[in-house]
C-alpha cells in the first residue's frame, strides 16, 4: 500500500541566536539602517543635503542681520531750508538702508549744535555754520569735521540784508544814515559777517548802528512790527518777508561780494558735519551716515520734488517750498581748488576780526568717510 501523502507545511526555522550587545542596540536605536546606495545616487543626495544646509545658514544670517539694531546717530538740525539734506535722507529711507537710526534734535542756530557736540550729546549737525564749527575746533582739537558744504551767493541765495518799508536802499551802503537798529541771524558767525559787511561800506557799530542777535523764527514778526530798521537774515525768512510785505531785500550774497571780493564766488557758510568722536570711535557708522548724506544731496540736485520735504519740517511756508532759493550743496570731495581757497578766505577773515582766536587750516577738517579723504 502506498504511503499517504502529507499536506505541505512551511518549514519554520528558529532564528540563530543573536549576540546580546547587538540585540540591545536594535532595541534602543530608532533609526532605520541606511539602505545600500549606488555611488552616484549617494553623491546626489550629499549635494542636495549641502544645498539645503547652505540655504538654511543664509536665511539665518539674513534674519540675524535684520534683527540687529540700527546704529543710533543724533543729529542737530536748525530747521531752515539748508536742513533739507537731513529730511531727504530720513524720509526717503537712505539712513535706514545704511543701518542708521537717525534721531533729529531741533536746535535754534549753530551755537547749541556746537555745544551738543562738545558735551557728546550730538553726533552730527545738518546745517552747522562753518565759522561756529571751525571756532569749535580751536576750543577742542578735532571736535568736528565737515562732510558737505553749502555755498551761497547772489544766485544761490541764503544770507541777505533786508530793510523795513519806507527805507529806500538798493545796496548795503544805502543803509548808512537810515538804519540805526539792525538785527542779525544768531551765532558768532552770522554776527561777524553782518558786522564785516556793514564795516565794508563804512558803517561803525555803536556810532552808525546797533546790532542785535535774534532767533530766526522771530525775524519776520520783528521786521513787520518795525522793531528794527534792517536785518541780516537767512532764507526762508527773507522770502517770507518779501512776500508778506514785512521787509524788502536790499542785497543778497553779501559775503561773496564784500568778504571774498567776487560776486560769483560761493561763500561756504554752513554744511553737514560729523563729530570727531564718531569718526574715531565708530568709523563705519560715520562712513554709512556720509553715504546716506551723499545720496540725499544728489537727489536735491536732480529732483525738484525733494523741496516738498521743506513743508512742515522747516520754517518754510508750504506755498513757498517749491520756489525758495537754496544754496549750492556739495560733498567736500566735489569742491574745486578755488572753492577751498574761498572757504579758507572767509575763515581767515573771521580770525582777523577776532571771532576765531587761533589760526586754522580748514582743509584738515574736510572729510569723506565714504570715499577717500578730501585734500
Position 189 scores a pLDDT of 82
Q: Which of 184, 245, 189, 242 is nearest to 209 (CA)?
A: 184
70-152+266-365 CATH = 3.40.190.10
pLDDT of residue 104: 98
Mean pLDDT by 10 residues, the chain (375 residues): 43 43 42 54 61 56 57 96 97 98 95 96 97 95 98 94 96 97 91 94 97 94 97 93 95 96 96 98 98 98 97 93 95 98 95 90 97 57
Tell me which DSSP letter residue 366 carries.
B
The verdict on pTM exceeding 0.95 is no
DSSP annotation string for 20-88: HHHHHHHHH--SPPPPP--HHHHHHHHHHHHHHHHHHHHHHHHHHHHHSPPEEEEEEE--SGGGHHHHH
Residue for grid cell 524720509: 91
How is domain 160-252 classified at the CATH fold level? D-Maltodextrin-Binding Protein; domain 2 (3.40.190)
Q: Output the CA torsion sign for 59, 61, 65, 68.
A: positive
Domains 70-152+266-365 and 160-252 share a fold: yes
Extents of the domains making up the chain:
70-152+266-365, 160-252
Q: What is the pLDDT of residue 30?
A: 45
**Cβ–Cβ contacts within 10 Å for residue 183, how many?**
24
3-state secondary structure at position 273: strand
pLDDT value, residue 42: 60
DSSP 3-state of 319:
helix
Q: What is the pLDDT of residue 47?
A: 62
Q: Give Cα separations from 234 to 168, 249, 375 (angstroms).
A: 20, 11, 30
- Look at residue 13 in the predicted model and tell me its pLDDT: 41
Report phi then psi at 89, rounded to 5: -65, -35
Amino acid at each position: 500500500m502506498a504511503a499517504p501523502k502529507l499536506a505541505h507545511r512551511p518549514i519554520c526555522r528558529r532564528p540563530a541566536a543573536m549576540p546580546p550587545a547587538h540585540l540591545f542596540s536594535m532595541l534602543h536605536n530608532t533609526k532605520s539602517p541606511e539602505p545600500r546606495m549606488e555611488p552616484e545616487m549617494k553623491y546626489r543626495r550629499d549635494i542636495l543635503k549641502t544645498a539645503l544646509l547652505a540655504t538654511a545658514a543664509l536665511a539665518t544670517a539674513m534674519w540675524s542681520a535684520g534683527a540687529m539694531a540700527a546704529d543710533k546717530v543724533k543729529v542737530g538740525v536748525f530747521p531752515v531750508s539748508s536742513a533739507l539734506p537731513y529730511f531727504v535722507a530720513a524720509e526717503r529711507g537712505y539712513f535706514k538702508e545704511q543701518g542708521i537710526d537717525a534721531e533729529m534734535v531741533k536746535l535754534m542756530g549753530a551755537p547749541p549744535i556746537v555745544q551738543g557736540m562738545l558735551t557728546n550729546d550730538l553726533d552730527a549737525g545738518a546745517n552747522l555754520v562753518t565759522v561756529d564749527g571751525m571756532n569749535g575746533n580751536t576750543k577742542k582739537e578735532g571736535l568736528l569735521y565737515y562732510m558737505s558744504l553749502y555755498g551761497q551767493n547772489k544766485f544761490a541765495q541764503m544770507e541777505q540784508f533786508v530793510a523795513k518799508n519806507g527805507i529806500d536802499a538798493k545796496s548795503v551802503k544805502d543803509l548808512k544814515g537810515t538804519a540805526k537798529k539792525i538785527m542779525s541771524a544768531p551765532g558768532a558767525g552770522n554776527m561777524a559777517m553782518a558786522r564785516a559787511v556793514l564795516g565794508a561800506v563804512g558803517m561803525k557799530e555803536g556810532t552808525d548802528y546797533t546790532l542785535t542777535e535774534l532767533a530766526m523764527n522771530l525775524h519776520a514778526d520783528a521786521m513787520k512790527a518795525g522793531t528794527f530798521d534792517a536785518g541780516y537774515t537767512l532764507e526762508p525768512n527773507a522770502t517770507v518777508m518779501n512776500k508778506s510785505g514785512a521787509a524788502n531785500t536790499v542785497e543778497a550774497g553779501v559775503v561773496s561780494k564784500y568778504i571774498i571780493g567776487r560776486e560769483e564766488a560761493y561763500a561756504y557758510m554752513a554744511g553737514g558735519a560729523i563729530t570727531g568722536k564718531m569718526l574715531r570711535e565708530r568709523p563705519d557708522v560715520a562712513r554709512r551716515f556720509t553715504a546716506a548724506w551723499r545720496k540725499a544731496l544728489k537727489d536735491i540736485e536732480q529732483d525738484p520734488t525733494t523741496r516738498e520735504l521743506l513743508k512742515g519740517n522747516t520754517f518754510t511756508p508750504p506755498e513757498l517750498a517749491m520756489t525758495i532759493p537754496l544754496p549750492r550743496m556739495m560733498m567736500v570731495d566735489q569742491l574745486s581748488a578755488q572753492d577751498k581757497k574761498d572757504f579758507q578766505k572767509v575763515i581767515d577773515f573771521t580770525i582777523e576780526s577776532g571771532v576765531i582766536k587761533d589760526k586754522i587750516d580748514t582743509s584738515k577738517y574736510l572729510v569723506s568717510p565714504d570715499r577717500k579723504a578730501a585734500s
